[in-house]
Amino acid sequence: MGFARAQSILRARWSLPSAQTVVGGAVAAVAAVLVLYPIYFLFQAALNVGDPEAKPPTDYGFDNFAGLARYSEILLNTVGVSLAATVLALLFGFVTAWILSRTNVPGRHVLEQLMAIPYYVTPLLGAFAWSLLGAPESGFVNQVWRALGGDGYLIDIATPWGIAWVMALFEGSVAFVMIGAVMKSMDPALEEASQIIGAGRLRTMLRITLPLVAPGVLGAAIFVFAEMLGSFSAALVLGLPSRFYVVTTAMYQLVSQYPPRIPLAAAMGVSLFAVMFAMLFVYRRIVTRRSYVTITGKAFRPRVILRFVLLAVCILYIGLSVALPLLTLAYASVQKIAVAFPAAANWTLDNYRTATTMNAVRSALANSLVLGFATASIGVVLMGLLSWIIYRSRVPGSGIIEYIVMFPQAVPRLVFAFGMMWAWLIFPIPIYGTLWLLLIAYLTVFLPLGIRTISGVMLQVDRSLEESAQMCGAPWAYRIRTVTMPLLRPGLMAAWLLLFIASVRELGASILLMGPNAKVITPAIVESWFASSAELTAAMALIQTLVVALAMTLFVVLTRRATQLAHE
Amino acid sequence: MSEIRKAGATRRAVLKAGAAFAAMPLAGKAFAQPAKAPTKVLDFHTNADMAKVEQEGQLIFYCHENEAGTAAIMEGFGKDFPKIKTGYVRAQTGALYNKIVSERAAGRFDVDVIQLSDLAPAFDFQKKGGYEVYASPEAGGYAPEHLSDPAGAFFWTGVSFAGIAYSKAKVKPEEAPKTWTDLLDPRWRNAMSCKIPSSGIQFVQWYMFRKLYGPDYWKEFAKQRPRAFDSRVQLFDRLAKGDDKVCAIAEYAAYVLYKEKGAEVAFVAPADGLPATPLLVGMVSRAPHPEAAKLFVDWAMSARGQAFYQDNPNLVYGSLRKDAAPMRTGERLRDFKLLSPADYADYTASRDLFTKEWNAMLGL
């Protein structure tokens, strides 16, 4: 009796689950524990109306939510800034993704690498640099303006529009990566066919290109909007000086003070669930309504159009988001007190000397690189499997799984981290205060990011390709390895890089969870900004940026080499 | 010539009542003090077992100071004891205290020594048994009122005090505020900075001015729409660049640092006095590296450690050690009229009210 026949008899008699159900179930269970375990503590805190110090709570109710009415201005600030920043970010991301994947703009490959830099430079550094540039009194731009005879100030970055601008500059690269992965796989023949029958370029863009990349654009829109809702660093640097609060900065103040107002902070965070649920519902309705298949085995041929104008657009975006902030930080880091026109006595290297004595440089760098590698590597596998479960499998409850894994996106990481802090503090295995806890935190909070990136590409892979392999007798695992994975490779590589960068730049979760021997970069820079001079913080930030840049360059070189070897 | 006001019997009564608190879940086991003579290490004495210190090889320090200051303390200790690997967590006093209490409530004891800038959380921590009672051989260098009661839980490693500072680029000397009530002049609206409610010295200022000028002082102050920040370095950074015109809680230590950097800032010591807060160091109970913790406490208390705290440009503490040298500016604490609470029970009890009022003032 053959093995296959024996297997089918066993299944018939005892209804054994298939391999995909077992693996799918296990992965879904891991994701559910990662997300729901801290969420439980978060809700517990939000519903706690008794003594805040009593654990477990003695009294539950909705008074904390009723108290949110007092903070309506903060909630409106949050939504307003998030919307403005999302629109700007999508504009930057879509335009640059279209230029770099649908045209033969010169230096495309170099520009693609440069486009990732705004994301890893982090909104914190961007906000910091732009505050040095655009503060109404001390900003370099305004100092130059006054030196040229201008009155008052030319720009004021410490405003809601300033926050939206900075967030959009850096989240634009997230939108670029997500939309770009989708656009790369599109066959231009579809657009050319549109033009042949008489449609102009704009009409083709709107009627052909845009609808086909809709999953990627929608995914980017939802993700970017949720990121903006949870925005912390830009609002902290640019909003606090003008007493402009968003939910996250208000929560940080409430959690940090003594005694802390945890229930109110938790209620603020939980209130954002409703917004994300609505967004996710809309997204699923759109995605499941039509097919977005474009990967059919045909070659990719970019189009020739206004190459050097488009090159200038890309360079402008990279200049504003990367070059200008980094140059500003470098300029400030070598001064005692950063001004636009420093006297000779103002130059110094003391900031770099001091920076090397600090935890943030000594240990945080190494920790962040190790964590980044681990998060990205484990994350791609975990999130790839989850994407497959949600969008491709017939595992029962895949819709519920999607909502669960999107929970972290709905909650500002600071508050999610609070739930995690309590959840893992009482866990019998002592991982609190270690890098292990940060790894768990990162894998949890980045679930939406990874799944959105990978699923955006996965939706474009026609099921018929996998089904063909299945009809030829290939088992599930073999199909995944030989058919699905190669087709998803661009998306998986984009996801790996995105997860690595997200891990290195992570702030909201880390700032509450890092211990004395588990410091990581970005929260260490925030601590420095709070508690050191702008110039010292600039020096620290540049040292860290340089080291991470080297690590990323190494990754790109190695993956390119591996790809070349695979083709040989 | 003035001195720090002391609360005397009232504070001692409170502390004695607190110290008699029964064993709490957070309490550590009382540590049996070895019956041996202190060891001389470098130029100070310690009861730490130096062999065990080397075995432990590590010290974890929680501190309220700014990043550069905390790093400087660890660097100073580390230079004297290079075999001890130091690690620290830095946060403003309120956030730091939240953190350690949460950790201990969950059974995590990762901290060896803690430094706070406010007596209120220190008293609370002492009541909860959070401090290890350690009799340092260097304690004799301090007056009893600069030690915990009973002695051994924590000591006053220094004092930080604050006046008014202004940007010389934005404010003419004749227009500058000279008294605390001058800060209520509408010309300083939207042009003034202060600290966040987690700050110990901000709490002291709020409390003392309620006593001096009545509760309406802060209602008027709120109309000035001040901006609040975490650290004194941030406050002076902004002042030096002209982003703010006046700082309402300008710590002298930061003024000294920025003056040495060449910043165009001026310091004003109002005649009514300067709010002052003690900086409190204590060994934490159930410390993972108890011998290293004892060594650090002894080092910090010693003339050597105090000189470091006073001279380091990122610290510039005023020392309360009886034989302390002047600060790096040549001045001593007694050259300033310092204000601190007389009734620490009342002071501690008003914490919640301060936090609520301060948040409301800042728009939270």
Those residues whose C-beta lies under 8 Å from the C-beta of residue A216, and which sit 6 or more positions away, are A178, A179, A181, A182, A183, A456
Using pLDDT thresholds of 50, 70 and 90, give the confidence band for residue B7.
very low
* Mutate which: A244, A247, A257, vs B, most B CBs within 10 A: A257
The shortest CB-CB distance from B363 to any of A245, A259, A531 is to A245
Q: Answer whether 0.80 is exceeded by the pTM.
A: no
Axis crossing angle, helix A72-102 with helix A214-229, rounded to the nearest 10: 150
- In Å, how far from its chain's centre is CA B19? 21
CB neighbours of residue A432 within 10 Å: 24
Question: Residue B150: is the preceding peptide bond cis (ω within 30°)?
Answer: yes
Q: Decide if pLDDT at B18 tops 50.
A: no
| Interchain contact, A258 vs B97, CB within 8 Å | yes
For domain B9-159+278-329, the CATH superfamily is Periplasmic binding protein-like II (3.40.190.10)
- Across A496-505, A544-553, B225-234, the highest mean pLDDT is recorded for B225-234
The shortest CB-CB distance from A357 to any of B75, B261, B363 is to B75
Distance between first and last Cα of chain B: 40
CB neighbours of residue B264 within 10 Å: 16
- In Å, how far from its chain's centre is CA B336? 17
CA quadruple A424, B93, B256, B59: dihedral positive or negative?
Answer: negative
Chain B residue closest to A513 (CA)? B99
ipTM of the modeled complex: 0.74
For residue range B43-70, list pLDDT tens digits in order.
999 999 999 999 999 999 999 988 778 8
| Domain A18-63+71-567 top-level CATH class | mainly alpha
**CB of B312 less than 8 A from some CB of A:** no
Using pLDDT thresholds of 50, 70 and 90, give the confidence band for residue A285.
low
| Interchain contact, A243 vs B363, CB within 8 Å | yes
More confident residue, B320 or A182: B320
What mean pLDDT value characterizes chain A? 80
**CB of B279 less than 8 A from some CB of A:** no
| Interchain contact, B87 vs A516, CB within 8 Å | yes
Q: How far is B226 from chain A (nearest CA, A)?
A: 9
Name the nearest CA neighbour of B176 among B245, B97, B262, B89: B245
> Which residues in chain A touch residue B97, judged by CB atoms under 8 angstroms apart?
258
Specify the CATH number for B160-276+345-362; select among 3.40.190.10, 3.40.50.2000, 2.120.10.80, 3.40.50.300: 3.40.190.10
For residue range A141-180, list pLDDT tens digits in order.
999 999 999 998 999 998 999 999 998 988 788 788 778 8
More confident residue, A313 or A287: A313
pLDDT value for A359: 61
The amino acid sitting at B207 is: Y
Q: Decide if pLDDT at A316 tops 70.
A: yes
The structure tokens listed for B207 are 């409390």
Give the up-direction half-sphere exposure of residue A497: CA atoms within 13 A in the CB hemisphere: 27
For residue range A48-95, list pLDDT tens digits in order.
888 766 667 788 888 888 888 888 888 899 989 999 999 999 998 888
- Contact (Cβ atoms closer than 8 angstroms) between residue B225 and residue B240: no
Cα(B200)–Cα(B205) distance, integer angstroms: 9
More confident residue, B165 or A290: B165
Question: Residue A473: left if φ>0, alpha if ψ -120 to 50, beta else—which one?
Answer: left
| Interchain contact, A241 vs B351, CB within 8 Å | no
Those residues whose C-beta lies under 8 Å from the C-beta of residue A178, and which sit 6 or more positions away, are A93, A216, A219, A220, A223, A452, A453, A456, A494
The shortest CB-CB distance from A138 to any of B103, B243, B258 is to B243
Q: Decide if pLDDT at B337 tops 70.
A: yes
> Which residues in chain B touch residue A345, judged by CB atoms under 8 angstroms apart?
262
Percentage of chain A modeled with pLDDT above 70: 84
| Interchain contact, B103 vs A433, CB within 8 Å | yes
Those residues whose C-beta lies under 8 Å from the C-beta of residue B66, and which sit 6 or more positions away, are A530, A531, A532, B90, B231, B232, B233, B314
Q: Decide if pLDDT at B26 tops 50.
A: no
Name the nearest CA neighbour of A82 among A123, A125, A117: A123
**CB of B266 less than 8 A from some CB of A:** no
Cα(A417)–Cα(A32) distance, integer angstroms: 16
Q: Decide if pLDDT at B173 tops 90.
A: yes
Q: Decide if pLDDT at B11 tops 50.
A: no
Per-residue pLDDT, averaged over B189-218, amounts to 94
Q: Decide if pLDDT at B290 tops 80.
A: yes
Ranges of each domain in chain B: 9-159+278-329, 160-276+345-362
| Interchain contact, B261 vs A534, CB within 8 Å | no
* Mutate which: B62, B67, B227, B359, vs A, most A CBs within 10 A: B67
Q: What's the per-residue H, E or C state across chain B?
A: CCCCCCCCHHHHHHHHHHHCCCCCCCCCCCCCCCCCCCEEECCEEECCCHHHHHHHCEEEEEECCCHHHHHHHHHHHHHHCCCCEEEEEECCHHHHHHHHHHHHHCCCCCCCEEEECCHHHHHHHHHCCCECCCCCCCHHHCCHHHECCCCCCCEEEEEEEEEEEEECCCCCCCCCCCCHHHHHCHHHCCCEEEECCCCHHHHHHHHHHHHHHCCHHHHHHHCCCCEEECCHHHHHHHHHHCCCCEEEEEEHHHHHHHHHHCCCEEEECCCCCEEEEEEEEEEECCCCCHHHHHHHHHHHHCHHHHHHHHHCCCCCCECCCCCCCCCCCCCCHHHCCEECCCCHHHHHHCHHHHHHHHHHHHCC
What are the percentages of helix, strand and coil residues in chain A, rounded to 5?
75, 0, 25
- Contact (Cβ atoms closer than 8 angstroms) between residue A539 and residue A351: yes
